[in-house]
Amino acid sequence: MATDVMPAHSETSRPEDNYLTASKGIMSWLVTLDHKRIGVMYLIGTMTAMFLGGFLALLLRAEHISGTPTFFTHDQYNQLFTLHGAIMVFLFIIPSIPAALGNFILPVMLGAKDVAFPRMNLCSFYLWVIGAIFFICALLTTGLDTGWTFYTPYSTNTSQTNVVLATFGAFILGFSSIFTGLNFIVTIHTMRPPGMTWFRMPLFLWSLYATAIIQVLATPVLGITLLLLAAERMFGLGIFDPKLGGDPVLYQHFFWFYSHPAVYIMILPAMGIISELISTFSRKPIFGYRFIAFSSMAIALLGFLVWGHHMFTSGQSEMVTIIFSVLTFSVSIPSAIKVFNWLATMYKGSIVLATPMCYALSFLFLFTIGGLTGLFLGALATDIHLHDTYFVVAHFHYVMMGGTLVAFIGGLFYWWPKMTGRMYNEFWGQISSLIVFVAFNLTFFPQFVMGSRGMPRRYYNYLPEFQVYHVLSTIGAFLLGFGLLLAAIVLIVSLFKGKKAPANPWGAATLEWQCGSPPPLANFEKTPTVGNPYDMNSVVWDPDTESFIRRGDVPPVTD
Amino acid sequence: MATAVEPHESHEDSHDDWHHQPFSAHHFDNAEQQFDSGKLGMWLFLVTEILFFSGLFCAYAVYRSTHPEVFIYASQFLDKYLGGMNTIVLIFSSLTMAWAVRCAQLGQRTGLVTLLGVTLFCAALFLGVKTFEYTEKAHKRLLWSGAFVKATDIGKQSQVFEVGKPLPKAEFEDRVMASLDTIKKFWWFACVIPLVLIGIGYGSGSRPWRTTGFAGLISIFGILAGIWISIEIHHAQHAGDHADGHGDSHAVAEHEGEHAEDDHGEHDHAQTAEEKEAAEIDAEALAIQEKIGIEASEAPDMILGEMNNAIPAISTPVVTNSQADAPRNANIFFSIYYFMTGLHAFHIICGMIAITWLMVRSVENHFRPDYFGPVDFVGLYWHIVDLIWIYLFPLLYLIGH
Ligand code: HEM
Ligand SMILES: [Cu+2]
């Protein structure tokens, strides 16, 4: 454990220095122990993965412009969707919010100087890099065609591609994820400054805490599963091979025991971001703070009990199916609690439609659809019909992309001024969110329709009756790609052209807005005062600095 | 876990001497917070370790409940004496480890280094015994499921490992001994690296190098001792069969059965050829007698019945798929056995590396009553590794006897 010699943060830095300017040179980044820099490196890494995965997605959609084979053979198509899925899931969406935004924001929001184990944090990043290299190697050598789920016996006996390489990649990424989660739990437990009680923690921290619990409890099971898979493929262990007395459904159980909780690793931090955004931009304290906090924990725990809903059609016993179906329904309760609380927060608030809020509103709409369609899949009778169709594809894209990705971008816009010290162009930001919202629905809504009419997933061609939906979806996908690119451009341009960001541009009351933008190396010059994180009245607009500032610090104002 | 955040007036004031001590990390407020963080972190890590193994325990439970006969049949090929000895060694090493932690807390450096050394030795001993067990099993062709099947037969495009036909019965025991003899003969080769390290250590006056070298030596001696003891135990079991007349437990009977067929060479050094032959005939007769006895008393039990049938063939490569009296897919047991114990052995190796690191640091006098976290944390890790073995041992070795 990284508890031995922990090099001191440079004590010689000048007060006007921030974490970006405190030291120079490429090495000062590569071996940094500063959580903010590690967060930024994670951000760059995961965004690269996202654009790679997105590029593959566009190729996939392009294939569907007509029902006959268009650009790719069926083998190539298999490879495309596998890599798209694997990259998006393992390299982008799981690390995106916790490891990139969370790493940057968590200690600052908490009022700590760093995470508990800075070296482990850096190690986690490099594990991510190594895992990514394994994936890329698989991509460049033989590709991978098992689907991101690596189902046996296809992955162990039939596939001609380099499954072992990709498996090890995912295994290593799993450890990267465990390290992040472990670090966050310990940080939240032991590093809270005086006054930061559990119930004064911003909800983003609660959601990261719940996420970290899942990361720590679920990921090891994936690890052992992947090891068994690799051993099975290399040596013929026999555990998953019926010819040798094994059982392939056991693999599915193991895999989903991780992967269902993993979908909550993806969505919980997104929900945390939304709690922050909705409250800040409605200029109102969050409604039902404790309900939201506890619903995060409830989701984390219930999420462990429902994995069997991915195997409704695998021939598992009826009793088991029914139990899993009932449990699946129960997870939607805490999710719904959150949605209602967000709506109640907005009610009678003075809503500011800044870019982050636009994304937050998109999230509300899209996540609700995604969650509700999950209930169709959790109901046994309908799932028999809908399983392995485009309906499932649309469902998880509504939650993963419409939910997590959209919240991620919203959070990125929100904390961008803090991370970089620059304001982005509000107008183009809003336009990007509009394009993303419309294009997203154009892409995925037709998939619900064709899925419910029987279009199976993972096919590279289709019957003529599905043509219109596929074409709509493909057009939407390219528009969506454009919208995301626009968002990226807006952010990147701000680095060069944006005006300097004040400490607190949004009027939020959480701690990260109390230190400068960008934060100094040790986050706070003096230990911050911890108050109610959602007390919007504690900050007031100060025209001199063009920033919100805490009330106690301003000369008495008449209001 | 309670939080250990001590309220402090202002940040500046809390920059007390603690921050100027050698191993204090500057993002913590005080030593207590640093220790608590490390401890919580370690516990969480141990939780992930348990979950990591729990997947395997789960697989074990599934296959044991669906194929009970396989487990009862195949587990008799494991040597419970060796397993038992390893259990004792590990439990003892847990004691020395806990004691080492105490020494660190009290600032007793010599005690700390010595106890860490003993723990390291025990760990290596364990690995030595495992080396013997694996070698023996490999030569008896007691391998995992896929090892006897051509990859193409199970529809695989490729498989790294392919094993040919089993060896003739007579040969395998010789082979085990031969390969272990090689180790016995050439063990000093393995000592070269640590000796070089020690040399460099003395040459350059660097204590860490020297300590690492010594830790390496301890490990090598431990492993050798393990192998040597296993061989002795193995012989003793067999010699005992002859000496105490005819053992009355099933286990002894089994071993005699084993002898009757394939005692080649290993007793030569102890007995004259004549004696040996006599003993062999003796044992063979006994095995048959025993077998009949068991069959008479327990035949109604289907599973045991199968087991008994297997006794005469026990030392042949029974678990090849073609063997008629072995239950179908008996090798699933060995798949699980190798995977679980292999992963456990890997954890032992990691623990040995960590203990070596602790030894280096304690020789350097890093640990003091107010800073002993790392010893404590590695200690926790070591206990969990022991604990896992304490579950593995009965679940793998002690069923069906
Ligand atoms: C409201 C809660 C949710 C319910 C009730 C639900 C239900 C389901 C069900 C029953 C399936 C299996 C469909 C089938 O294969 O036939 C499924 C698939 C899936 N869900 Fe959800 N889900 C929920 C939330 C989420 C969230 C939050 C995410 C991700 C962030 C997600 C991601 C996925 C994915 C990736 C799959 C497909 C996996 C695959 O087969 O490749 N779900 N969902
Ligand atoms: Cu699920």
Position B401 scores a pLDDT of: 56
Q: How confident is the model at residue B248 (pLDDT cuts 50, 70, 90)?
A: very low
Matching residue, tokens 């004496």: B81
**Percent of chain B topping pLDDT 90:** 31
Position A530 scores a pLDDT of: 80
Question: Which CATH code for domain A27-550?
Answer: 1.20.210.10
- Which chain A residue is nearest to residue B53, measuring alpha carbons? A224
- Which of A258, A263, A307 best tests ligand 1's pocket when mutated (most atoms within 8 Å of CB)? A263
Question: How far is the CA of A412 from the CAs of A70, A479, A516, B332, B381, in angstroms?
Answer: 37, 21, 17, 50, 39
| Atom of ligand 1 minimally distant from the CA of A328 | 5
Q: For ligand 1, is residue A85 a contact (CB within 6 Å)?
A: no
**Residue spans of beta strands (DSSP E) within A370-529:** none
Q: For ligand 1, is residue A406 a contact (CB within 6 Å)?
A: no
B400 φψ region: left (φ > 0), alpha (ψ -120 to 50), beta (else): left
DSSP code per residue over B327-380: PTTTHHHHHHHHHHHHHHHHHHHHHHHHHHHHHHHHHTT--BTTB-HHHHHHHH
Question: Which residue has its alpha carbon closest to ligand 1 atom 16?
Answer: A387
Position B17 scores a pLDDT of: 62
Position B166 scores a pLDDT of: 53
| DSSP bridge partners of A389 | A456
Cβ contacts of residue A312 below 8 Å, gap of 6+? A321, A324, A325, A380, A383, A384, A387
Q: Residue A500 carries which DSSP code?
A: B
- Which of A321, A330, A396 best tests ligand 1's pocket when mutated (most atoms within 8 Å of CB)? A396
From the list B41, B48, B161, which residue is nearest A236 (CB)?
B161
Position A244 scores a pLDDT of: 81
- Least-confidence region, from A54-63, B215-224, B236-245: B236-245
Burial A110-120 (b: 16+ CB within 10 A, else e): bbbbbbbbbbb
| Atom of ligand 1 minimally distant from the CA of A375 | 5
Name the average pLDDT for chain B. Answer: 74
Ligand nearest to the CA of A396: 1
**A417 CA → ligand 2 middle, Å:** 36
Digit-coded pLDDT (tens) for B85-94: 999 999 999 9
State the CB neighbour count (10 A cutoff) for residue A463.
Answer: 12
**Contact A250/A189 with Cβ under 8 angstroms?**
no
Position B318 scores a pLDDT of: 40
- Which of A96, A302, A316, A392 best tests ligand 1's pocket when mutated (most atoms within 8 Å of CB)? A392
CB distance B1–A190 less than 8 Å? Answer: yes
C-alpha closest to that of A83 among A128, A145, A133: A145
Question: Which residue has its alpha carbon closest to ligand 1 atom 29?
Answer: A263
Digit-coded pLDDT (tens) for B335-358: 899 999 999 999 999 999 999 999
Whether residue B298 is predicted with pLDDT greater than 80 in this model: the reply is no
Parse chain A into domains and list their residue ranges.
Answer: 27-550
Whether B217 is covered by a domain: the verdict is yes
Query: What backbone torsions phi and psi does residue B133 show, to the nearest 5 degrees?
Result: -60, -45
* β-pair type (A539-542, A547-550): antiparallel
Query: Positive or negative CA dihedral for A492, A495, A497, A500?
Result: positive
Positions of chain A with pLDDT lower than 50, given as ranges: 1-13, 554-559
Q: Residue A90 carries which DSSP code?
A: I
As a whole number, mean pLDDT of residues B228-244 equals: 72
Q: CB burial class (10 A; 0-12, 13-18, 19+) of residue A242?
A: middle
Cα A376 to chain center, whole Å? 24
Whether B272 is covered by a domain: the verdict is no
Q: Write down the H helix ranges in B67-162.
A: 68-75, 80-106, 109-139
Cα A138 to chain center, whole Å? 24
HEC string for A248-312:
HHHHHHHHHHHHHHHHHHHHHHHHHHHHHHHHHHHCCCCCCHHHHHHHHHHHHHHHHHCHHHHHC
Residues of B in contact with A153 (CB under 8 A): 155
Position A160 scores a pLDDT of: 85
Pick the more confident residue, B262 or A458: A458
CB distance B155–A157 less than 8 Å? Answer: yes
Q: For ligand 1, is residue A309 a contact (CB within 6 Å)?
A: yes
Digit-coded pLDDT (tens) for B153-204: 666 666 655 554 555 555 666 777 777 778 777 777 888 888 888 888 888 8
CA–CA gap between residue A55 and residue A476 (Å, rounded): 14
As a whole number, mean pLDDT of residues B84-108 equals: 94
Question: How far is the CA of B306 from the CAs of A377, B317, B331, in angstroms?
Answer: 47, 16, 16
Whether B146 is covered by a domain: the verdict is yes
C-alpha closest to that of A5 among B5, B120, B38, B110: B38
Cβ of B179 under 8 Å from any chain A Cβ?
no
Cβ of B5 under 8 Å from any chain A Cβ?
yes
Position B18 scores a pLDDT of: 63
Q: What pTM was computed for the model?
A: 0.85
Greatest C-alpha distance within chain A: 81
Position B194 scores a pLDDT of: 86
CA–CA gap between residue A212 and residue A265 (Å, rounded): 8
Digit-coded pLDDT (tens) for B31-66: 888 888 999 999 999 999 999 999 999 999 999 998
Position B137 scores a pLDDT of: 82
Whether B254 is covered by a domain: the verdict is no
Rounded to 5°, the CA angle B2-B6-B10 comes to 150
Cβ contacts of residue A528 below 8 Å, gap of 6+? A111, A193, A511, A514, A515
Residues spanned by the domain of B37? 31-166+192-239+325-398
CB distance B59–A225 less than 8 Å? Answer: no
Q: What is the predicted ipTM?
A: 0.89
CB distance A238–B42 less than 8 Å? Answer: no
- Tell me the CATH number at B115: 1.20.120.80
CB distance B37–A117 less than 8 Å? Answer: yes
Amino acid at B401: H
C-alpha closest to that of A436 among A365, A370, A493: A365
Whether residue B304 is predicted with pLDDT greater than 50 in this model: the reply is no
Position B259 scores a pLDDT of: 39
How many domains are contained in chain B? 1
CA–CA gap between residue A346 and residue A278 (Å, rounded): 7
Position B269 scores a pLDDT of: 40
CA–CA gap between residue A124 and residue A114 (Å, rounded): 15
Whether residue B276 is predicted with pLDDT greater than 60 in this model: the reply is no
Matching residue, tokens 């898979």: A229
Residues of B in contact with A114 (CB under 8 A): 27
Whether B342 is covered by a domain: the verdict is yes
Whether B382 is covered by a domain: the verdict is yes
Q: For ligand 1, is residue A267 a contact (CB within 6 Å)?
A: yes
CA–CA gap between residue A204 and residue A533 (Å, rounded): 11
